[in-house]
Amino acid sequence: MSFKLHHFAAAAAAVGLTATSAAALTAGEVWADWQETSADFGQTISVGSEESSGGVLTLRDVTITMDTPETGVNGTIAEIVMTERSDGSVAIDMSDEFPLDVSMTPPEGESGTFSMLVNQSGLDLVATGDPDAISYTYAVPTVTVTMSDVETDSEPTDLDLVMSLAGLAGAYTVSGDDPRSVTSSLAAGSMNMTMSGTDPEGSGDTFDITMNVADIASESGGTITPLAGMTDISQMIEAGLETQGTTTHGPLTYEISGTSEGSDFAMSGKADRGSYDVAVGADGLTYGGASEGVALTVSGSEIPFPEVEFTIAETGGRIQMPMTVSEEPKDMGLSIRLVGLTISEAIWSMFDPAGAIPRDPATLIVDLSGQGSWLVNVFDPAVAEQGIEEVPGQVQEIDVNEILLSVAGAELTGSGEFDINNEGPAPQPVGTLNLQLVGANALIDKLVQMGLVPEDQAMGARMMLGLFARPGAGEDTLVSEIAIQPDGSILANGQRIR
């Protein structure tokens, strides 16, 4: 949600570096900073009444609205009091609770509305610095957000959501001019969420979700550009939008239960720790995350076991892509990491009760990078509505930095590089992919012994491997060099296969 709560609540989404200054900051200067920042984010502020006396600025019935083609937000704070202090800072007090009304009208799918009540009792919010660089520090014992009055396509929906942050503290600084910059940081001891509901279609399906996260920390920074009237992220970036941030957390647990078509289901999971990062700017979008010590347990009346368990030592992924139309190619990439996957013995025993197949943890790693460019602004809603008839983008280069698949005692690894020729009627890759497969024949033998693979199919699989691979240096090792030539021909270890 892009509503800028950090000017009006400790539940805010931006936090930053604290700063102190000997210069005295006035309440009017702080209020002007809030108004300017809100306007940059396309928000409109109206005040029922405004009083200033003896260094105290009192604002009542402060209403903040923001409308985009797909989302509308309206919130009202009953009272905000800004008090100038002798040390040059400004203390900011506001109502313990304030409501938000949100409406969503996506171009496709159901529209919806809901209300939220934010409680921030005990908020301590202070502004310091000077008008060119105002720093805000805040702390609050608990921030609670409660959702209610949910409607989908004007029909009431049974959905309850309560989320709270405990021990929230942080700071943020707004400085500079045209563009202004924001740096921020926050920390919270824990986040707790509960959510429950029933199917609005009347099927009787229900769900309950609880989540708990400990030791949350976040840092971010970037520039503020006027966003009013902009309809897509590409426009915002071209106007100077730049932001980056990281978030980390400690132990995470969750539980999901409910009914579906008369059947019960339950799921619980945990992660020891995790991290996420995002950067958006002229170079494009980069987003990634990772978790360690992941575990998942699933049970239900439709599952032929009491429960099914999965554990993953490490999981993560990353995507990088251009966000604006450009003649020059920009960096792009995609990576997936699934390291140390194990499944419960109940699943193994279904097809391998004798334990013939190694139970070694499985691993999948795919790491790709390259260069590409957009020829059409695919993020523009008008373009999406009209449809894209021409090729929207081009890839000029793909590097296969790493491929690793390890499962049941067999391991496939690979790497390669390809240049893409976009001059013809279709993109033509040119390059080489090097692969190595270890333990494949031993795995095929075990599958035949278990009766899972017929002998004739096993022989066909070995013949297929022989077409693409040759023996490597080690035992039960196959290697292959797949080369795509400029004329479109494909060679496997020097032998043409197409």
For the chain, the farthest-separated pair of C-alpha atoms sits apart, in whole angstroms, at 93
Helix, coil or strand: residue 25: coil
pLDDT value of position 438: 96
Confidence of residue 40 (pLDDT cuts 50, 70, 90): confident
pLDDT value of position 16: 31
pLDDT at 487 over 50: yes
Q: Which residues of 225-237 are buried (b: 16+ CB within 10 A; e: fewer)?
A: bbbeebebbbbbb
Confidence of residue 10 (pLDDT cuts 50, 70, 90): very low
pLDDT at 2 over 50: no
Instruction: Look at 138-147, 299-308, 414-423 and tell me which has the smallest mean pLDDT.
Output: 299-308
Amino acid identity at 391: V
The domains of the chain are located at 1-198, 230-377, 409-498
Token reading at 485: 């030539």
pLDDT value of position 228: 64
pLDDT value of position 5: 35
Of 173-177, 300-304, 427-431, the range with the highest mean pLDDT is 427-431
Confidence of residue 227 (pLDDT cuts 50, 70, 90): low
Which position has the higher pLDDT, 39 or 184? 184
Overall average pLDDT of the 24-37 stretch: 92
Overall average pLDDT of the 88-105 stretch: 94
pLDDT value of position 294: 97
DSSP calls for 186-240: EEEEEEEEEEEEE-TTSS--EEEEEEEEEEEEEEEEEEE---TT--SHHHHHHTT
Which position has the higher pLDDT, 98 or 495? 98
Element (H, E) at 90: strand 90-94
Q: Is 124 exposed, middle or buried (0-12, 13-18, 19+ CB in 10 A)?
A: middle
Contact 205, 259 (CB under 8 A): yes
pLDDT value of position 364: 98
Overall average pLDDT of the 428-446 stretch: 94
Confidence of residue 371 (pLDDT cuts 50, 70, 90): very high
pLDDT value of position 164: 97
Overall average pLDDT of the 211-222 stretch: 97
pLDDT value of position 111: 83
The DSSP secondary-structure symbol of 7 reads G
What is the model's pTM? 0.85
pLDDT at 439 over 90: yes
pLDDT at 32 over 90: yes
pLDDT at 23 over 70: no
Element (H, E) at 460: helix 455-468
Instruction: Look at 36-45, 103-112, 382-391, 439-448 and tell me which has the smallest mean pLDDT.
Output: 382-391
pLDDT value of position 70: 78
Confidence of residue 303 (pLDDT cuts 50, 70, 90): confident
Overall average pLDDT of the 273-297 stretch: 96
Which position has the higher pLDDT, 326 or 177? 326
Instruction: Look at 180-194, 199-213, 313-327 and tell me which has the smallest mean pLDDT.
Output: 199-213
DSSP calls for 238-275: HTT-EEEEEEEE--EEEEEEEEETTEEEEEEEEESEEE
Q: What is the pLDDT of residues 141-172, one digit of tens each?
A: 999 999 988 888 767 788 899 999 999 999 99
pLDDT value of position 17: 30
Which position has the higher pLDDT, 347 or 430? 430
Helices (H) then strands (E): counts for the chain: 6, 27
Percentage of residues in the chain with pLDDT exceeding 90?
Answer: 59
Which position has the higher pLDDT, 1 or 489? 489
pLDDT at 122 over 60: yes
Overall average pLDDT of the 456-480 stretch: 89
Q: Is 130 exposed, middle or buried (0-12, 13-18, 19+ CB in 10 A)?
A: middle
pLDDT value of position 284: 92
Instruction: Look at 192-196, 199-203, 263-267 and tell me which has the smallest mean pLDDT.
Output: 199-203
pLDDT at 202 over 80: no
